Structure 1
Amino acid sequence: MAADTTGGTVRRRDRPSKGALREERILDATRRLVTERSMADITIDDIAAAAGISRTSFYFYFPTKQAVLAALMEQVWERFGQTHGWFASSGPTRADLLDQLRRVAEMWQENSKVLACAMPGGFAVGYRPLEEFVGRAKQRFVDGLAEKIRRDRAAGLAPEGVDAAVLARMVAVVRDHRISEITDLPEEQREGALDELATVVLRMIY
């Protein structure tokens, strides 16, 4: 290493540890496997083999398959949080809303198999840590939208009416249900469906 002016050494940029890389391999392997068959049909041996590690090594990083799924969900929901740019705008700003919906739909499609595990009837139902995490992630959307509704109402840009938090939850239910349907549509139909969804959301709020 090159010496610094104080007689010490210049540290190289930190690299991911072997443990972090191995954990990421487990997540990547599970993500690939779940696109091929259901999580219920995937064994820990399957995940370990796909990640190139032993079953014993798997348990060093994750106690269960559900824990792996929870880690995958966390990555997905963090990305979802990055799509919430519309919340910072003032008023309807349809173009910003449509951009947000488009990005959400793209992410939903990319991660549909993982997200399906947390849906009613999915593999992760009953796994409390994951259910609690999904609940917090959804609440983040509701809180962000509710704050926008209150701000726009105070500015005279949106009419008074249903409590902002209640309205935000209603919008979330409509959005999530329709987005999951849109990702199953032929590609040429998705933009029109997203435009319709934007119209519904704006009419609910404004």
Structure 2
Amino acid sequence: MSNPTTDRAREPLIGDRRVSAPAKGERQRRSLLDGIARLLTSRSIDELGIAEIANEAGVSRSAFYAYFDSKYAALAVLTSEAWATYADQTDVFTRQPDEDPAAFLDRTGRAALGIWKKHAAVLVASIQAIPVDPRIAALWNTWNRRLTDALTEQLRDDIRAGLAHPATDDVARLITDLNYMMQHAFYLNCVSGADHAETLRMFNSVTAIWLAAAWGRGTS
């Protein structure tokens, strides 16, 4: 079955020249993307040069431009791939019939946290690139809108079922702000190098805020 959230996350991005690249070049393109991801574990995106990226991938500098028009275009592809991995998890945005709101938020939040932990370098670099690259800014805006739309729909279903009592009637705005709060908390957790215990404290706190503000419930 087609997943609109996943399908849209995989749409061709401006600056990604994959559609015009020959099939035999897919390996080079993947090498470039993986090379950038490796470099980002120790360097910021603004520090990376095209020649350095190409060298890391084992291709020529000119080969880079066969696939991407800039390093930010490649970063956008990596970001989109991370999101697609999240959206691929079956029904991640839908509460199951046998699942209470607390369990739903825990499952959804842990899935998101797992993506942040696995793709930390890419997602941190992508957020830091928002002020300097309009395409990446638009990408984050689009993803956040789709995510908040899906969660808003679930919350409204629960309100109608008498399972949720949000802190405000402006449900869409509430979910938007809660989503940004969680995103910022995950970002800060990554850049601070938090250990497992601190990460768990952060996650439990953020989840408790979600549950209280959106569903009007405590964690116990």
- TM-score scaled by length of structure 2: 0.77
Partner Cα separation in structure 1 for residue 139 and residue 201 of structure 2: 32
- Three-state SS of the structure 2 residue aligned to 1:118 is helix
Deviation of residue 191 (structure 1)? 2.7
Q: 1:134 aligns with which of 137, 140, 143?
A: 140
Matched, 1:81 2:87: yes
Matched, 1:178 2:193: no
Q: Aligned residue for 2:176? A: 169
Question: Where in structure 2 are there 5+ consecutive unaligned residues?
Answer: 1-21, 216-220
Pairing 1:32–2:38 present: yes
Question: AA paired with 2:207?
Answer: A
Larger Rg: 1
- Report the secondary structure of 1:117's partner residue: helix
CA offset at residue 39 of structure 1? 1.1
Look up the equivalent residue of 2:156 and give its one-letter code.
R
Contact between 1:152 and 1:158, CA under 8 Å: does it hold in 2? yes
Paired amino acid for 1:169: T
Q: CA deviation at 1:29?
A: 0.4
Q: CA RMSD in A?
A: 2.2
Q: Percent identity?
A: 25
Q: How big is each residue's C-alpha offset from its partner over 1:72-124, in whole Å with a ceiling of 9 and x where there is no partner?
A: 111112123245625333674322321222222222122222222332xx234
- 1:67 partner amino acid: A
Distance 1:117 1:193 in 2: 21
Distance 1:198 1:89 in 2: 18
Aligned equivalent of 1:115? 123
Q: Does 1:61 find its partner at 2:64?
A: no
CA distance in 1, matches of 2:52, 2:200: 38
Using the size of structure 1 for normalisation, the TM-score is: 0.82
Is 1:30–1:47's contact at 8 Å kept on the other side of the alignment? Answer: yes
Find out whether 1:102 has 2:114 as its counterpart: no
